[in-house]
Chains A and B, each alone.
Chain A
Amino acid sequence: MISFTINGEPKSVDVDGDTPLLWVVRDELDLKGTKFGCGKAACGACTLHIDGAAVRSCSYPVKMAEGKDIITIEGLGQDGALHPVQQAWKEHVVPQCGYCQPGFMMATAAMLDKIPQPTDEDIDNNILNVCRCATYYRMRKAIHRAAEIKSQTKVQ
């Protein structure tokens, strides 16, 4: 058995420890917001947070998650409210097909924890996921807006 907390809930799973965390999250725990894109950590569709850091879960064996704190898109917002990144994504109507967007939002949320007011260069260097609909133009705006919402939320 491998035990961890996910979106605040303690969970134990009985699977082969080499199974990628992505499939445990999707198929065992039925949290489908974390997406499969490539299986080789090359596209970022499967990005979630482990102990606060953005991780590409398709290439992360579940045994390494033992005792750790996992957050997925389903648990990104708190107390029933959307996370500032999700709010900004809505304001700028970012998604098209939407498939890769949870991965981008998770990558952005982790970046904003490290870099609260990212420059365009910070965004270029840190947001390396792939979006085939190529919604990058709106994403960049939404990332700046999310930083703004987040900083305002903290002040209050």
Chain B
Amino acid sequence: MTNNQDDKKKGVKRRKFLKYSGLGLALIMGGSWLGRNTIRRAIFKNSETTIGPYLGDTSPLLWLQISSENQIFLHSAKVEMGQGTFTGLAQLVAEELEVSIDKIKVVHAQTKSGNLDGFATGGSMSIATLWKPLRETAAIMREMMRAKAAEKLGVDVKSLSLDNGIFSSAGKAMTFGEIVDGVSDWDIPDAPALKPPSEFKIIGKGIPRIDLHDKVIGAPIFGMDASYPDMLYASVVRPRLIDAVMSNFDVAEAESMPGVIKVVQENGFVGVVAKSRTEANNARKKVKFDYTPNRNWNLSDIEETIKVGNGTKTIIQKHGDPVDDISEEGEVISMEFRSPIGAHAQMEPNGAVAHFKDGAVEIKVSTQVPKITRDEVAKALGISKDKVNIIPTYLGGGFGRRLHTPNAIQAAIMSRAVGKPVKSFLDRKQEFQNDTFRPPSHHVMKARITEAGEILGVEHNLAGGDTLFNYPLLPSIANAAMRADIGSIRGGSIMYDGLPNYRATYYHSDLPFATSFWRSLGLLANTFAIESFMDELAIKTKQSPVEMRLKYLTQDDPHKIRIRNVIQAAAKKSGYSDEIVNGRAMGFAASIDTGSPCAQVVEVSIVDDEIKVHKVTVAFDCGIAVNPDQVRAQVEGCICMGISATLFEKMELKDNKLYPTIYGAYEMALMRNSPKEIDVVLIEGADFAGPVGEPPLGPIGAAIGNAVRRLTGKRLTELPMNLA
């Protein structure tokens, strides 16, 4: 078992694991064509509460490799982009293998190993989807070791006990390394029963993340740190304008610049390959070409496009009647909210290092989609998939920006063209100009309330752009069938099932620039609209915002119980009050995303006309926290990133030019904007490990707005917030 790849081919005798292919997904969606609206609603409902299957193979021979030196390698098909996934996965494996965590070295699975995740690393789904399958994988591996140990030691398999990676029986003992030594053929048994949570020794412990040391010493672990001997540097011409055609390229001057090896013009792109990065960039700036805009675009055009009432309408949630049809009783209240175009602004730019040699290519790249990237490269180069090996690296931030990494194709084409390894990265300006942005949104909230303060119905009307279902790699039939996409709508349903009437309607419009996933997708903006409005209703009907929320969460559905729990816990831990104390007001908001509910209470004051968030109290239920310290780290990070989006971030658009294109001008939260106190309560009780990386982003915007409302009387309805 020294070579993970070879073992895969000869060793596997039985596989008991379900495989879900992209084709299967297409058929499920295609099959829903006839009952579109009904099925759409079902899918949207599920997207807020359901954890999908893991879309890859979980054979122990693909995931785990034990060397005769007794080192265990965990070849992860999920990438590490900061969320602590590698550490959590190692904990799952260590628990069932009965070894200490330091015995396990986690590495990214290369695509040539065959360990391919058919989905992506994203959606907060890594630990959540592998929670059971990977423990089974490890348990199967443990039993494979046990059987072989019995054979080698000549003892009864039942007599063997396992303690910290050593099997022993009647005075004889063997390490995993000794067991695997010289063995090439393995029987793979069925998955044995998994340990009950009461026996967990490693899961549930806040052990330091396994990449901590490397990240503190500045080890070269990122895509941008990758290199090959004799490597050249490339810089690719990229559009500075949206919805414009680039033509009439003149590369003569670029070709004559110092250090330039070749200007590559293939597959619709122009890239300069030079001896150094600086030379490549300088020469790229000398490439001349014409822009022909298809039409003129300004931000006002986008705001006009993304407007409730425009585009394709889909009712995504329906209970009872629309607010306008309920009755003549009471009063209709309506408010509008908006969120801007958001940039990913991840710190490591996109790019890749490719080495094309003898008809095959190896690519080191920060990507959330190794398999998709492999397939795309193979197609673009006209070579078979087994001639492409994607070697994923640690990601200098993902947040959805690397769910499509076509720069790998360009690096591969340029490497082939010059016959040497090529490193090709975007600069920061290109990164901002060519981001796959979070689409802007427009929300019209409506409610009918009686004079006695009863809420008869609430309606969320949302307009947004593509995220998931214009994804270039999803089957087009899915685009056609879905249209309204579960990305923009994430967090867009009304969770208050005790209301007599509630509904959510989505209006989809196409945008003239690339949009995609941004951490938590629509969750932040949708929760901002819904929970700001609920707060306004509480004020209008003279109720406590906490009590009012609990009053309209009545069902005994497990998700609703968990939502109630986080609401109660956050209110209690923070000592929530409507009073302003020492110039500080509290704001309350809650949401549920991918089955993980979160409630937050912020303490806010206004200092020099700026909103200052002093303290955030969070109650979060992600089920079993595999690593509570890292769950807390994710909650803290989500809060600060959410504060950044709530208070500062916004892309502008003028004459087809998206800007700003640099940090600082694209304003983001810095140290001084981070709350000095973050108090996280993790709610226990569930028997599964649920999503963590995005759900805590939900409530923060609304919670801040609700605090400002109590402090100033003013309801802020736009992100980023502006007090003026």
Contact = CB atoms under 8 A, between A and B. Distances in A.
Interface residues of A, number: 55
A116 interface: no
Interface in B640-685: 640-641, 643-644, 662-665, 668-676, 678
Contacts of A36: 224, 349, 425
A96 B83 contact: yes
B225 A96 contact: no
Interface stretch (B70-78, B93-101, B553-561, B629-637): B629-637
Contacts of B669: 134, 136
B663 A136 contact: no
A33 B218 contact: yes
A96 B218 CA distance: 13
A38 B428 contact: yes
A61 to B, nearest CB: 11
A56 to B, nearest CB: 11
Contact of B663 (A43, A101, A139): A43
Nearest to B225: A32
Contact of B216 (A20, A95, A131): A95
A98 B663 contact: no
A98 B211 contact: yes
B216 A89 contact: yes
Given A37-B347, A38-B428, A132 B397 contact: yes
Question: Looking at chain A's contact residues, is the secondary structure mostly helix, strand, loop, or mixed?
Answer: loop
Interface in A12-68: 15-16, 19-20, 23, 27, 30, 32-40, 42-43, 45
A99 B347 contact: yes
A16 B220 contact: no
A82 B637 CA distance: 25
Contacts of A40: 428, 662-663
Contact of B397 (A33, A42, A99): A99
B434 to A, nearest CB: 15
A39 to B, nearest CB: 6
Contacts of B668: 130, 132
B385 to A, nearest CB: 29
Nearest to A82: B216
Interface in A107-141: 120, 123-125, 127-140
A82 B213 CA distance: 10
Contacts of B629: 93
Contacts of A130: 345, 347, 663, 668, 670
B217 interface: yes
Contacts of B662: 38, 40, 42
A99 B345 CA distance: 13
Contact of B347 (A39, A120, A127, A132): A132
A110 B83 CA distance: 28
A70 interface: no
Nearest to B674: A136
Given A90-B212, A93-B208, A133-B637, A32 B83 contact: no
Given A23-B276, A105-B216, A133-B82, 16 more contacts: A32-B220, A32-B225, A34-B218, A39-B427, A43-B663, A95-B82, A96-B83, A99-B347, A100-B347, A124-B671, A124-B672, A127-B671, A132-B344, A134-B669, A137-B639, A137-B675
